[in-house]
Structure 1
């Protein structure tokens, strides 16, 4: 990273856990920064810092593109190799995270991410109110995988409309790579839509889902390059590399996985091949959109769902603008984000 663009980065040793607690606030230009709490093993704590910086910037883009009055942040807890997260240590970690978030005086609210759950947010909520994504029974918005999958489906409908003149996904060949909590929900939704599914996951036990849904199955490498209409990355990021682009046989890519591009230049390579790529921070914005609407804005569940489904309109407008201007959807999205941030910075009342 050649320049430092974050508003604030907090790095501290957890008072209880003794582990590195990192909170990165990328931007609060649009409003309170939001972003999940990631707890996972890292070879070096500086790798965790790089993750926090990158992911918090992605959250700024996600919120801005989704029309939310929120900025981007991220919490990352670096677990050294070989450390077992016992129930006792887990509670210590969560309370350390809560204290770190509370020390920012409301500039940032955390939520679930890799390695944490809605129940964990309840524990964090014992020490700070700057938290979202708690269970439904605790006044929260619940598991974000459902809204995230719903938002990804909305993006796929928009892409289908752009390519075929109709958002109908019946009969479309769709490869879903990664069928974890979000990918599985999305696969079930696509089955209900009548899509012709190919599923894939690094966990061979997930193959049972393909049998249940009547979908084809292949390993991730083959699924990425399958001859399909729509490719849906729904696992970890970095799968779209310069080496994989020439082998792709899809018309478009849209999915909920974060940081799908190995490098920003891959977006241009996809454009050169005539493959539409919907930026992941737009296709995957359903979870944060729902949680912010329901928990921070005190909206109803129906209002939250309506804003998630509006991702279809966002993607449609984005693809139309990209086609009209002859640019990539990624560039059109960046211009949208920059315009919102610039307007908010100069005229907060119009953000």
Structure 2
């Protein structure tokens, strides 16, 4: 942790792994009760990014930036972030996350070249990955990937959630949605409050806001057959995966479901792949998830455990690279 020279805010950069290559992970700006809570968040999220990159087939490790607090001079904050990232010598690159967007990446880019998504929004890629994952979940649970007539509850209508809602309705699905900001209300879907959305009787629940929504207390109240969403760290505690499994609620690991945005950014900006190649990579999220769900059944374990085992294998089997 460093205090920003301009803003005085705690700037936390957690690099979890560089075994597969340069660490990648978004920049989150949020208020925390104490900066150490931001540190805990950064450590959890950076570990998840290692798994996300490995499972997405990307030659990168995981990291995260957390700015613990807010400041009236946003340029000062983001330049502080850029200075800290630059001081790491290229072992980590950041991108947008909760509280930041492409314009913020431009300001971070004033101070370092180790930044992604300065010229575009990664949320359509994230949403496309969610749809690929949802099709795999629906196929696993109901025998067909067809979304027409299926029911979904999307919890969170931010940049990603809105794209997901639009993709689902275009596919003929019935959608319930909720957001803490009533201004994000979307016409053509059944709008409700967040708690009612969480416990809606639907085929698939899609958490698309902040993490930690799946708690021990929430699990007994759920009325969905499956859960697949882009929110990071959806499980409030690891044992929640076992509680969902005991209730026969299929949970698709968020590190797989949410990978579309980072796949798009990395494949486009670092590896310079064509749009068709990038789209194919994002669509393969469905195949990856199907394999994880199959492995979980074969080993009588949760999808969370199956995903973790696969990620550990991929990272552990990596040939060391220079970063």
Measured against the shorter chain, the TM-score band is over 0.9
CA distance in 1, matches of 2:181, 2:287: 34
CA distance in 2, matches of 1:116, 1:57: 20
Aligned to 1:4: none
> Tell me, what secondary structure is at the counterpart of 2:289?
helix
Alignment of 1:222-237 (within 5 A): 222-237=196-211
CA distance in 1, matches of 2:46, 2:123: 19
Between the two proteins, the alignment pairs up a number of residues equal to 321
- TM-superposed CA distance for 1:145, in Å, is 0.9
> Tell me, what secondary structure is at the counterpart of 2:8?
coil
Identify which of 233, 237, 245 aligns with 1:271: 245
- TM-superposed CA distance for 1:35, in Å, is 0.6
Identify which of 23, 27, 30 aligns with 1:40: 30
Structure 2 unpaired stretches of 5+: none
Aligned Cα root-mean-square deviation (Å): 1.3
> Tell me, what secondary structure is at the counterpart of 2:25?
strand
Aligned to 2:100: 116
String of CA shifts for 1:89-116, please: whole Å, max 9, x gaps: 2111111111111111110001111221
String of CA shifts for 1:34-55, please: whole Å, max 9, x gaps: 0111112222111111111111
Q: Does 1:94 align with 2:72?
A: no
Q: Does 1:21 align with 2:11?
A: yes
Aligned to 1:150: 128
Identify which of 34, 37, 40 aligns with 1:50: 40
- TM-superposed CA distance for 1:29, in Å, is 0.6
Q: Does 1:165 align with 2:155?
A: no
Q: In 2, are the aligned partners of 1:291 and 1:304 still within 8 Å (CA)?
A: no
Alignment of 1:146-295 (within 5 A): 146-207=124-185, 209=186, 212-213=187-188, 215-295=189-269
> Tell me, what secondary structure is at the counterpart of 2:12?
strand
Identify which of 278, 282, 301 aligns with 1:304: 278
Identify which of 28, 36, 60 aligns with 1:70: 60
Deviates most, 14-23 or 284-293? 14-23
Aligned to 1:125: 109
- TM-superposed CA distance for 1:348, in Å, is 4.3
> Tell me, what secondary structure is at the counterpart of 1:318?
helix
Structure 1 unpaired stretches of 5+: 1-10, 136-141
String of CA shifts for 1:176-218, please: whole Å, max 9, x gaps: 11111111110000001101111111222333x1xx22x2222
Identify which of 34, 57, 60 aligns with 2:50: 60
CA distance in 1, matches of 2:184, 2:2: 38
Identify which of 7, 12, 24 aligns with 2:2: 12
Provide TM-score, normalisation by structure 2: 0.96
> Tell me, what secondary structure is at the counterpart of 1:228?
coil
> Tell me, what secondary structure is at the counterpart of 2:110?
coil
String of CA shifts for 1:231-264, please: whole Å, max 9, x gaps: 1111111111111111211110000111111100
CA distance in 1, matches of 2:123, 2:251: 22
Q: In 2, are the aligned partners of 1:56 and 1:73 still within 8 Å (CA)?
A: yes
